[in-house]
Amino acid sequence: MKNSLKLKQNIILFVVFTIIIFVLFNPYSFNLIKSLITGSPLNLDQLYIIQDDWIQQGIPFYKEFFNLLDSGKLAWSWNLFLGNDFFTSKAVLYMTSDIFAYLGYLINKFINFVPNTLFILTLFKCYLSGFTFFYFLKNFKLKYTTKLLFSSLFIATGWSLIFLEHPIFLSFYCLTPLLMAGIENVLQRNKFSLLVIVAALLIAMHYYLAWTMCIYILIYWCIRYFMIHEYNIKAFFQLSFKTLGAFIIGVLIAAIVWVPSLMYMINSPRLVTEGIASYTTWSSTNILAIIMNFFIPVTKFDNLLYHDMWYYFYQIGIYSGILPLLLIPQYFKQDFSKKEKQLFATLLILTLLTLISPFIGKIFQFTYSLRYTIIFNFTLLIIAAIVFNNLKKVNVKLLLFTEFIILLTILFLGVILPSLNNLDLKIYPEIKMLFMAAMFSMIYTILLILFNSKKNVIYLLGLFAIAEMLYQGNQAIISYSKNEIIKATYISNSAAVESTYKLLKELDPSFYRINLQVDETIPEVDTTNFGLYYNIPTLKTYDSLYNYYSYDFLKYTRQYPEVNWIFHFDDFTIYDNLVAKYSIVSTDVDLNFYYYSGEEIFIEGIPDGYKVFKHHGDFAMAKTYNSFIGTNEMLALSEDDNIYLHELANILTNNLVVDDKLLNSLSSKYSQVPKQFFNPTDFTNNSISFNINLAEDAIVYFSIPYSDGWKITSNNTSVTPQLVNGGFVGLELKKGANEIHFNYTIPYFNIGLIISGIGLALGGLLLIKKLYKKH
């Protein structure tokens, strides 16, 4: 009988979550199902395509990730802006450490269309988040209906919605309830295994976000410990140290990912290019946006009421529905112990206090960010679920006061203030969403009042709460995808561009980079990672984790890495140094530039609307130099406004930029060396080889980004590279034949592997000890 009831409940859970997911993502979810059933492809306007990083980084990076997995080599990508370490640079913010990305790889084997694969992963992760939160809520001895309702609400909180654009953020979100469940397992059952496993997964997946949860868990741990256990400081510290030990084991197990990734991140200019010096106080716009996010999720419609253009600020994830806002004040009027009320009040107050200053973001995220507002979803939904589950009698006076505050705030945000600013209320979709929030709030209030006499209305209350979440969540999702079709045309153009590149490679199979300019109508930021999607090494990127050794070169060429993460070498005078031998362009761009910088080559079979140009120049992957310039002088020249970019490019073409300490030595040794040019004899995803026959001893420049991961041999003997030209490899080689081989291995990977092995050994020893005691 008990098993039959459990099976029935599980079926209901699956059905409810399935309905929620498909309604929430309507019409895109239904478009996808129709396409999969009929086998007919979707038009761009039918695809789930959302703004910002989903288009600009998500889809292209995942396409490259799948290609690298096919090759069996994840370490290095030539398509990643001149070439970069893919594993470490894409671990913390993208996919190499995301278990769901590997699931996506398998799915894509059947679908073979990355946008749909990512959408399926998104649906699955939202779906899974409901189940993991349901599992977490089991620790509070709640009724099945309560767990069902609040796990449904967790699927579409403000945090999960705003981070739909970041696939790995959503991966982290859907597993975070298991981390909280691991804490409860320790507190209630003295079991540590779940905590160790989930800690390892989350830290490997995104240690950046894991730090946020560590701070929250520290507070949560203290509150829940004294809620569950008697006041005993010695016992508290004993269990706390055991728990910390278990967590550290999880951290050690994940070291194979976070050690190489963290070392890359520490050196990355990302940490010093915030683009903002300080952000210590909220503006009035910030405050209004934060308050509004308690009532509706963040949207990205064309017209927004309160919006700060600072990238991190709009990522507010507070929204957890209106119902928790009405229920939480009731908690303190219900029949709970004084200690429990005080402790939950402390958790609530500490959570709210995190909003007092932008500086809190620095503590949680090392940047002025509101990404840490994931903690609001847990605090609000946990307390509200406990109230909902144990509600015996509603305090009507308190309820009406709470409702009055909510309605007054919504009225101020959605009507009074916009009217005072002479805004046209009809063009702001958020006003409609605020109106719906007010309507749902009034419905909840009526039902809660009726609850005192009719207990069954609690089920109706739950249905309306899910309806609110579906409406507000769907509006947010629609706003994220609105008017984004033009920015995703690279998806529909892929067959033509890839076909053009394939024909060019058949004509010239050597190594070279491509200047790719295929749609003038798309903003630059949305075109910079096209090459990754097309599997083409290009001269563009939008990537905050570009190769940090290239920082000086980016300064030499005025790409402004101090404040910029979007790079494009669009001056043909630098193409020779970068081996940018060809341009592939669509005919809607200005072709005069390409006719000036090279000549059109005609290849049979190139799709209509595309042209290929070969640029003027030597375009050798490796070459000798006999003229040198120091790094400080080159930096000074690049900062001189009287010197044009093409002049800087000519300096780089004719002079090798070297460390100032080596300048005199290299100049005296190699000033008479003849110019020689070489191209690779062989190259793969993470290796490249040359046969270099030198007329004299020389220093050879390679158009290969410098990295600690390169293991370089000359005639089977290891050689040490020099950092030249502000980010590339230079080798001092002897006269005669030199067989050069570059092989890329992930820096610090072996150290991470050893640490992970230690973590697994410690975990194994503790498991053996536990089993020994048990038997």
Report pLDDT for 640. Answer: 93
Report pLDDT for 155. Answer: 97
Mean residue pLDDT of the chain comes to 91
CB neighbourhood size of 467 (10 A) = 14
Q: Average pLDDT for residues 747-774, to the nearest whole number? A: 89
Report pLDDT for 455. Answer: 85
Report pLDDT for 311. Answer: 60
| Helices 2-24, 28-38: inter-axial angle, 10-degree rounding | 100
Residue 300 confidence class, pLDDT cut points 50, 70, 90: confident
Position with higher pLDDT, 298 vs 618: 298
Burial class (CB in 10 A: 0-12, 13-18, 19+), 668: exposed
Report pLDDT for 497. Answer: 92
Report pLDDT for 310. Answer: 65
Listed in sequence order, the DSSP H helices in 229-253 are 233-253
Residue 472 confidence class, pLDDT cut points 50, 70, 90: very high
Residue 124 confidence class, pLDDT cut points 50, 70, 90: very high
Report pLDDT for 17. Answer: 96
Position with higher pLDDT, 352 vs 302: 352
Q: pLDDT tens digits for 61-112? A: 999 999 999 999 999 999 999 999 999 988 767 778 899 999 999 999 999 9
Q: Is the pLDDT of residue 273 over 60?
A: no
Cα gap 273→638, rounded to integer Å: 19
Q: pLDDT tens digits for 196-247? A: 999 999 999 988 889 889 999 999 999 999 999 988 999 999 999 999 999 9
Q: Are 433 and 292 in contact (CB under 8 A)?
A: no
Q: Is the pLDDT of residue 274 over 60?
A: no
Q: Are 317 and 159 in contact (CB under 8 A)?
A: yes
Q: Is 98 left (phi over 0), alpha (psi -120 to 50) or beta?
A: beta
Pick from 48-52, 141-145, 553-557: least confident: 48-52
Count CA atoms within 13 Å of residue 94 on its CB side. 24
Q: Is the pLDDT of residue 449 over 80?
A: yes
Q: pLDDT tens digits for 651-690? A: 999 999 999 999 999 999 999 999 999 999 999 989 999 9
Count CA atoms within 13 Å of residue 528 on its CB side. 25
Q: Which of 110-124, 485-499, 588-602 has the highest mean pLDDT?
A: 110-124
Q: pTM value?
A: 0.93
Token digits for 141? 């001895």
Sequence-ordered list of residues with C-beta below 8 angstroms from that of 509, at least 6 positions apart, any chain: none
Pick from 132-136, 400-404, 482-486: least confident: 482-486
Residue 363 confidence class, pLDDT cut points 50, 70, 90: confident
Q: Is the pLDDT of residue 277 over 80?
A: no
Q: Are 311 and 276 in contact (CB under 8 A)?
A: no
| Helices 99-111, 114-137: inter-axial angle, 10-degree rounding | 140
Report pLDDT for 545. Answer: 81
Cα gap 541→421, rounded to integer Å: 40
Q: Is the pLDDT of residue 483 over 60?
A: no
Token digits for 32? 């996808």
Position with higher pLDDT, 229 vs 766: 229
Q: How many residues does the chain have?
A: 775
Report pLDDT for 271. Answer: 62
Q: pLDDT tens digits for 680-717? A: 999 998 999 999 999 999 999 999 999 999 999 999 99
Q: Is the pLDDT of residue 35 over 60?
A: yes
